[in-house]
């Protein structure tokens, strides 16, 4: 985060502070059954999302393009999509565990975004093509769907464990019922599979039509980020096929969901930090003097 321009550093620090406050509120509402603290979560998340949108506006003005090419911008967009999903679902799902898990997941993603934060970079020529735009949007929405599925899976496993222990007071009024969590988990998995399919197809279209990307077919097929995303796609397809044919147990689906989300998270962030990837659509850093205007 130290490489960000001053105005972005200040705004991003405020975003982190607000999500930390929301996470604390999430813990407090669990301890108090949500009656006293629940009303603070929505305004805090809404404020943080607004500030994140301001960061994207600054980036768009700086690079004079849609800010979807850099990893930091993609992480910010992902948290915005997931935050909006939470705000929408909170209308129908008011149990305290759902809100608490969601804000902690968003906080974790924001902290990861801080780790990979870097100054704005000029967009690669290929980034303005329809293939690249469809690819970026599909993968971001796919990641948000995976997070929704993961949050539902965690809550499902928690509720199932409490019910097996006959701890009804630890479940009633705090989490959605088990059947609803199962449906949310499957909805997230199906949405993620469809969106990643669009992402992979559009990525292949981009690779086939763009002459400005300095990557061979071997580079595309061995890139760790692309390989991991393909593995997740195959994993989701297999799980959904088994669910349709042999009625795979919901507990197994929940565990696989968490594994799939971990793989997606490592593909998005971990490969850039630990493995190195040629899956980069930035064309070079913008001068610092231009960033801080």
Provide the percentage of residues in the chain whose pLDDT is more than 90.
21
Q: Where are the domains of the chain?
A: 1-123, 124-284
pLDDT tens string 143-160: 888 888 888 888 888 878
Average pLDDT over residues 56-71: 74
**Residue 137: what pLDDT?**
83
Residue written as token pair 């097996």? 164
Sign of the Cα torsion 226, 232, 238, 244 reads negative
Task: Show the tokens assigned to 226.
Answer: 């692309």
Q: Indicate whether this model's pTM tops 0.85.
A: no
Alpha-carbon gap, residue 161 to 171, rounded angstroms:
10
Average pLDDT over residues 189-207: 89
C-alpha distances (whole Å) from 262 to each of 88, 109, 255, 268, 269 are: 24, 12, 11, 10, 10
Q: What is the mean pLDDT of the chain?
A: 79
Which of 105-114, 183-192, 262-271 shows the lowest mean pLDDT across its residues?
262-271
Band of pLDDT at residue 292, cut at 50, 70 and 90? very low
């Amino acid at each position: 985060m130290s490489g960000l321009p001053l105005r972005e550093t200040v705004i991003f620090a405020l975003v982190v502070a607000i999500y930390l406050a929301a996470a604390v509120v999430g813990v407090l509402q669990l301890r108090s059954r949500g009656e006293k603290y629940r009303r603070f979560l929505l305004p805090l998340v809404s404020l943080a999302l607004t500030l994140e949108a301001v960061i994207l506006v600054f980036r768009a003005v700086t690079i004079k393009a849609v800010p979807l090419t850099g990893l930091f911008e993609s992480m910010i967009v992902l948290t915005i999509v997931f935050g909006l999903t939470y705000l929408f679902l909170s209308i129908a799902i008011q149990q305290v565990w759902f809100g608490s898990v969601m804000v902690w997941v968003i906080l974790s993603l924001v902290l990861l975004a801080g780790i990979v934060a870097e100054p704005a970079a000029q967009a690669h020529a290929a980034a303005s093509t329809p293939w690249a735009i469809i690819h970026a949007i599909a993968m971001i929405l796919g990641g948000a769907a995976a997070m929704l599925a993961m949050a539902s899976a965690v809550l499902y496993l928690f509720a199932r464990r409490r019910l097996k222990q006959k701890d009804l007071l630890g479940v009633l009024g705090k989490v959605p019922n088990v059947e609803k969590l199962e449906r949310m988990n499957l909805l997230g998995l199906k949405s993620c599979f469809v969106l990643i399919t669009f992402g992979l197809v559009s990525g292949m279209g981009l690779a086939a039509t763009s002459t400005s990307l300095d990557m061979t077919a071997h580079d595309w097929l061995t890139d760790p980020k692309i390989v991991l995303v393909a593995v997740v796609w195959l994993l989701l397809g297999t799980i959904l096929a088994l669910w349709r044919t042999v009625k795979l147990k919901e507990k197994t689906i929940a565990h696989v969901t968490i594994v799939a989300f971990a793989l997606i998270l490592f593909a998005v962030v971990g490969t850039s930090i630990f493995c190195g990837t040629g899956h980069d659509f930035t064309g070079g850093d913008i001068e610092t003097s231009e960033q801080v205007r």
